[in-house]
Structure 1
Amino acid sequence: MERIGRTKIVDLLKRADFGAKVNIKGWVRTRRGSKKVSFIALNDGSTINNVQVVVDLAGFDEEMLKKITTGACLSVNGILVESMGQGQNAEIQASEIEVLGVCDNTYPLQKKGHTLEFLREIAHLRPRTNTFGAIFRIRHNMAYAIHKYFHDRGFFYFHTPLITGSDAEGAGEMFQVTTLDLDNVAKDENGKVDYKEDFFGKETNLTVSGQLEGELAATALGSIYTFGPTFRAENSNTPRHLAEFWMVEPEVAFNDNNDNIELAEDFIKYCIQWALDNCLDDLKFLEEHFDKGLLERLQNVVGVEFKRATYTEGVKVLEEAVAAGHKFEFPVYWGADLASEHERYLVEVHYKRPVIMTDYPKEIKAFYMKLNEDGKTVRGMDVLFPKIGEIIGGSERETDYETLKKRVEDNNIPMSDMWWYLDTRKYGSCPHSGFGLGFERLLLFITGMSNIRDVIPFPRTPNNADF
């Protein structure tokens, strides 16, 4: 086979130098034709679009042609010609074909449609489908957009540990990390696990957040962000929860909560606009097959100012809705932690735009959030989105040493885990704020998918750690 430099299909389809010799490599999506000619749809993952390869059967070995089945991997040399069919400008008139990898007839991704539930069972193959090719290209673009947004604004990417001795949220639902022999666990004189025998000499877990360490960095570097995997051992099988997921967490010295709100709105609009500007083919495919109003919803979010509302105002709206006959599954009262149905009502029904909710009761928020003057609420802020509910959660952080120490004690967090965090409030403390964006929540909104397991390559959920 003549050696010709490979052209990616995404680039090939933009070319108009018809008559040029080209090489493409990819996987067969479909093959159709007659006794004289075959039409092969080839895709290499660089775009949602296939390129059509036209094969004059008379010029090729019959045994080789039998190997060209759905899923087979090919290298094709040919001439770039103008396409006579609809949908694309260029196709390839094949001159040489090499089968790089045959595909067994048990290949599960045949031309018929497959349910998303079935594709989760073959997560090692689902990236080859149009749907998941689109989702994972968008996922890449969103990761790139996040890094670009912060880099262009002078933030530093800070790597916080995945293994930690503290629980940032006080949730207690963490995965333990240990090298102890679980068949013969070392015990101390009181019959409790002797962590002195463990690798780190203390109990350690997989992190639920990089925020606490991120705060330390912000008080040295000014503006930082973390972007990495986080873990929750929450036994939840809802379409909105994963045991392993990615978090984006900026932290900024000298920002108060109003600055924090402005950053959050600007940041998330930037990400959505990036998707509209750079992922349009994939978004159009997902809109056609999964979410008919996707593009309009994305454009609406970018083009509208988010509503600012306090928690107290939001609860009043919800209580009035209940009084008018609206049914919620979960009760509404001041002091309740709002459920997704409450958040979506505020966004989709009442305000009809994304909402940034502030000033939550201190009892339902994390210990590190700065207390307001009323002593009852904290300077927290959540960004609430249509279809999703909460997509960002953040706050201005408590900077007073004694106040923070009391909050740690009130939440029964062991002081031995928090001494280093409290130290920063003794040594040149400054106002600072930050937030966390669940990366997969953002992807749910941008792709229009309904289950969070479908926007991460290999979902980790209760009783599921395959692949």
Structure 2
Amino acid sequence: MNSLSIKELLNKQPIGDTVEINGWVKTFRSNRFIALNDGSTIHNLQCVVDFENFDDNLLKQISTGAALKISGILVESQGRGQSVEIQATDVFVHGTADPETYPIQPKKHSLEFLREKAHLRVRTNTFAAVMRVRSTLAFAIHSYFQQNGFYYMHAPIVTGSDAEGAGEMFKVSMLDAKNPPLDENGEVDYSKDFFGKETNLTVSGQLEAETYAMGLGKVYTFGPTFRAENSNTSRHLAEFWMIEPEMAFHDLDANMDLSEDFIKWTLQYVLDNCQDDLEFLEKRLLDEEKSKPQIERSEMALIEKLKFVVENNFKRVTYTEAIDILKNSKPNKKKKFQFPIDEWGADLQSEHERFLVEKHFKCPVILFDYPAKIKAFYMRLNEDEKTVRAMDVLFPGIGEIVGGSQREERLDVLQQKIEELNIDEKELWWYLDLRRFGTAVHSGFGLGFERLVQFATGMGNIRDVIPYPRTPQNAEF
């Protein structure tokens, strides 16, 4: 007999058929009712077992967390909470779980506790739902780009360049840390290292993706990136996944068009394909909100928030316009912002971005034309020589979720910016070659995948939307 997933069984509901399922025990009540779940759906399947027909030793092996195979007849359920159930005729125990030591018991566990049990937390309803949404989002991202003429490009994880220019990179070295070889100046001699030069884990695949866009037209990366930023906030990880499309012959307006269409399409895909999980996560979030002070509660429920993004046109506003709005806003005048806005050139914080989205425009916002001084070297300088063709997409509840720009395609301007920032031009000779050989207008953006998963699931901490979070002082599992 072929086993069915619980999701398949609940969808087909072949009443009267003999069926077989495998899964883990969620609850075991009255020595009779087993709630089984196999991870395919948020819903459990109730199995009714008459243990008078089974060996007494079998009963002793069944507890929360045990893995079972159950065969029986699918019938309409007489109880509340489920439409069908299995009248078990055979029970096989794959593996037991000692109730004294199994940590994922049928009760509420704190998210902090579950992070310490990250290898088992996916057996909870919350994390199973989050990871199913994460998987669906990843599929939607690939589907969108493949359907729109993009080619998937694998950017290197080990790199010699710092795409962000922030210097927060993890070194990759095979040299003896206690006794490294030194050059004539007493500095570490990286020519003796594995790659023959100083290398790091990548913070972004953007620069390499640009090179492929200038040959294939439209490409995207979707892979792990790393930041050695010593930040223990609910929004930062040391290892996370990035989606970075790059497009030749696309200016900033086309870049903004793509980012809006891409986000709306992927979130609509999740709304269409993860309804049960989203409803569960929304209820969880509403229960969590009840314990918060009124002022900290979200104004929108989870599904409403997703539809808010999908159904509203994104408002496009220049950085300069946004600064004027923020300077004259009530929170700023009444000193309610943690970071007051005093003058043009300020780097906007999440509180400012959320004000623009949630209070002022009441729709998602794309800010563009930022001050050059607060943006990366590769962004296209505007004619005013004060601003660059940068853009950020702002969401409710989270602030910036996408950052991108039209890239600087002029060799002389890019060289001047590199020199001003004391970046070693020799390390970027290949990047500059794009401007020497067939340069053209091109654009792209980056989207932190975990930020998108966090938005789609309503989880408050980014550590709870990745299987094994890597953060300062934490590389367990």
TM bucket, shorter chain: over 0.9
Please name the residue that 2:254 is paired with.
Answer: 259
- 1:347 lines up with 2:342 in the alignment: no
The structural deviation recorded for 1:266 is: 0.4
Work out whether 1:197 is the aligned partner of 2:203. Answer: no
Residue 44 of structure 1: aligned partner: 38
Letter paired with 1:259: A
| Cα deviation code 1:94-140 (max 9, x no counterpart) | 00101100102200111110011110111011011000000000000
Task: Name which of 297, 309, 316 aligns with 2:317.
Answer: 309
Q: Once structures 1 and 2 are overlaid, which stretch shifts more, 162-171 or 407-416?
A: 407-416
Kept in 2, the 8 Å contact 1:237–1:461? The answer is yes
Whole-Å separation in 1 of the counterparts to 2:429 and 2:116: 45
The answer (yes or no) to whether the contact 2:171–2:201 under 8 Å persists in 1 is: yes
Match of 2:4 in 1: 7
Q: 2:307 aligns with which of 299, 308, 313?
A: 299
Aligned partner letter, 1:237: N
What is the 5 A alignment of 1:122-201?
Answer: 122-201=117-196
Instruction: Decide whether the 8 Å contact of 1:291 with 1:448 is kept in 2.
Output: no
**Structure 2: distance between partners of 1:31 and 1:173:** 50
- Aligned 1:45-60 pairs, distance under 5 A: 45-60=39-54
Query: What residue is the counterpart of 2:292 in the other structure?
Result: none
**Equivalence map 1:270-289=2 (5 Å):** 270-289=265-284
The secondary structure found in structure 2 opposite 1:100 is: strand
Tell me which residue corresponds to 2:294: none
* Secondary structure of residue in 2 paired with 1:6: coil
Instruction: Give the stretch that moved more between structures: 345-354 or 436-445.
Output: 345-354
1:331 CA drift (Å)? 3.0
Which of 325, 334, 348 matches 2:334?
325
What amino acid is aligned across from residue 327 of structure 2 in structure 1? E
Question: For the aligned residues, what is the CA RMSD?
Answer: 1.0
Cα shift readout 1:146-203 (whole Å, capped 9, x = no counterpart): 0000000110000110000000010100000001111211111211001011000000
Q: CA deviation at 1:393?
A: 0.2
Q: How does 1:360-375 map to 2 (within 5 A)?
A: 360-375=370-385
Displacement of 1:16 = 2.9
CA distance in 2, matches of 1:176, 1:316: 42
- What does residue 65 of structure 1 align with? 59
- Shift in Å, 1:89: 2.1
Runs (5+) with no aligned partner, structure 2: 288-300
Contact 2:223 2:241 in 1 (8 A): yes
Q: Which residue of 2 aligns with 1:442?
A: 452
1:198 and 1:291 map into 2 onto residues whose CA distance is: 54
- Structure 1 stretches of 4+ with a deviation exceeding 3 A read none
- CA drift of 1:326 comes to 4.5
Query: What amino acid sits opposite 1:73 in the alignment?
Result: A
Count of residues in Structure 1 that have an aligned counterpart in Structure 2: 461
Deviation for aligned residue 1:411: 1.3
Tell me the SS of whatever aligns to 1:297. Answer: helix
1:382-401 pair list within 5 angstroms? 382-401=392-411
The answer (yes or no) to whether the contact 1:15–1:90 under 8 Å persists in 2 is: no
Q: Is the 8 A contact 1:13 1:88 kept in 2?
A: no
Task: Give the percent of matched residue pairs that are identical in Structure 1 and Structure 2.
Answer: 61
Deviation string, structure 1 residues 182-236 (Cα, Å, up to 9, x no partner): 1211111211001011000000000000000000000000000000000000000
Q: C-alpha separation between the residues in 2 aligned to 1:381 and 1:238?
A: 24
Once residues 106 and 267 of structure 2 are traced to their aligned partners in structure 1, the CA distance between those partners, rounded to angstroms, is 32
Q: C-alpha distance in 2, partners of 1:217/1:410?
A: 27
Match of 2:441 among 431, 437, 460: 431
Q: Matches of residues 82-101 of structure 1 in structure 2 within 5 Å?
A: 82-101=76-95
TM-score, length-normalised on structure 1?
Answer: 0.97
TM-score for both structures, normalised by structure 2:
0.95
Q: One-letter code of the match for 2:337?
A: F
CA distance in 2, matches of 1:87, 1:407: 64
> Would the aligned equivalents of 2:332 and 2:340 in 1 still touch at CA under 8 Å?
no
SS of residue in 2 equivalent to 1:269: helix
Indicate the SS of the match to 1:179. coil
Please give the alpha-carbon distance, in whole angstroms, between the structure 2 residues aligned to 1:234 and 1:152: 36
Tell me which amino acid in the other structure corresponds to 1:63.
Answer: N
Change (3 A) 1:96 1:323: closer
Separation in 2 of the partners of 1:251 and 1:323? 37
CA distance in 1, matches of 2:37, 2:335: 49
